[in-house]
A and B are shown apart, each in its own frame.
Chain A
């Protein structure tokens, strides 16, 4: 029996199982063959296509769409995977509205871009369902590379290294591979265990061993890995969560949004996940939206996202903001958390200060307001966990050059932990892939 949205406090099973199932179903239904044909027909096969140039992994989009249109979906999948072995996940989580689809000339022409993400999913899903592999490994090189982190950057790096004939050992701190694909995105974006299926697809090439429960700095060290391997790639992501720096943030009921999202993804039964009746999410990025929307879908009566700056400064894409609004999340701007107010040891409200911009700097106005709530999610960004011993850090991230080389010989880095990225899955894939190329050149003595 569902407890209902009006149940006070933090409660599990607010909604009936069938409601939860419907709420957490695939956000975008996949295209069937007919829909894919109709959509593919819309592509103009542009010269030096803007969509391709907007893709961080530079997938030849017009080519793969033409291959779909000509009834050659396996050719399409190959075109995608050659540039982006995680093309299946990227088709699901990429903010296409600010990447390829924003650049689509049909966006300029008629405000309706070709739905590139869904077409990419169509082709990659088909190839993965049929277990078609498009790569064979080069002659064994005898080299072994340590990849730290089995997230998008690490997997992309490992795959490309395996293609080149190297052996790869991937070390991951968590019990399952996939990184943020497995633990860090809203459940409705990749349903039916897609992240694990994708890891299986990527590693099916062979030569990639994944070792779990190995955290850098705790179980393994960079120094040791450099001795036992021919090269090291760091794709460790951002393991730390920024603090609110607000009074009372240790109160029960104040939760890291990333933990909430991970718990949801790993839950066998969504009815077991407790959520507040009145929820406040602090932050303006994708993680904040993922937490807020899912809190609402779990049956919270009222969910409010609070962001300290204006709408245009939010890291969450326009699409994500609209998704949140459509799901019933209220987004409030120019408010920063100052205090978590408690009642009997539990969260009762957050006190927020109105903010404004002065000469480009964010300043408090001194005026405050309160939002009554029983649960608060912190989603104000993640940071590098302090493992980068001896590595040069810039802007809170591991400094890398255009090839992904760190300041330390034999060590490369990519993905969210490395400088120069934009915290997108697709960028992590591009960096991992390019670092693998650089490592390969290094090991062959080319560069």
Chain B
């Protein structure tokens, strides 16, 4: 009986994940999916790689940093975007009033976004190889896939935290874009973290993308010694953010019910 309940829960979780993934990422309009997951990251990679090339640096460094960042951003935006769309559709109140806790609903709905980041990575890597000479000769594919998946899901943890801001009346577009921009500047995407002032380096090391990206860079350099440690830190940070997000979700959900701020943005 207990086993059946667990299977039912898992089935519902999976079903929600698939429906939300298809709806959010425009599977009903493949053109939108292509723009969001392929063209947009590609142009960002081009911009930063050319910027690096103008400074006489290796554009492959920029291509790799932005490829990983672009891929993992899906995890960050997934949960918050689902929340944003529920509010726009006028269904956030109904979802909140349902028997399942809001946090569980949104975690289920953002579950596949992290996995989908691999599509963006694949396209970005093709671009990196063809235009900027990204070198795969030293790459250990197993570790690379693990590092990318862990980074993407760690970003989902941050996404859950970001999504909670929407429940207390803060514009979700605002927090998502602030988080997105902070990651570009602070996580070693376009220049090493060590180039930042010491105080910002501390902030950088507490963000989920930093260690995952460092692991990916090590994998490309063929230096696997520190990779498991970096991946473990990344996974730990992701779980920490997800746990903080889950707790805050429960608290803010309660506050939004009490204050009546659920649909007030």
The answer to whether A and B come from one shared complex is: no
Instruction: Please list the residues of chain A having a beta carbon within 8 angstroms of any beta carbon in chain B.
Output: none
Instruction: Please list the residues of chain B having a beta carbon within 8 angstroms of any beta carbon in chain A.
Output: none
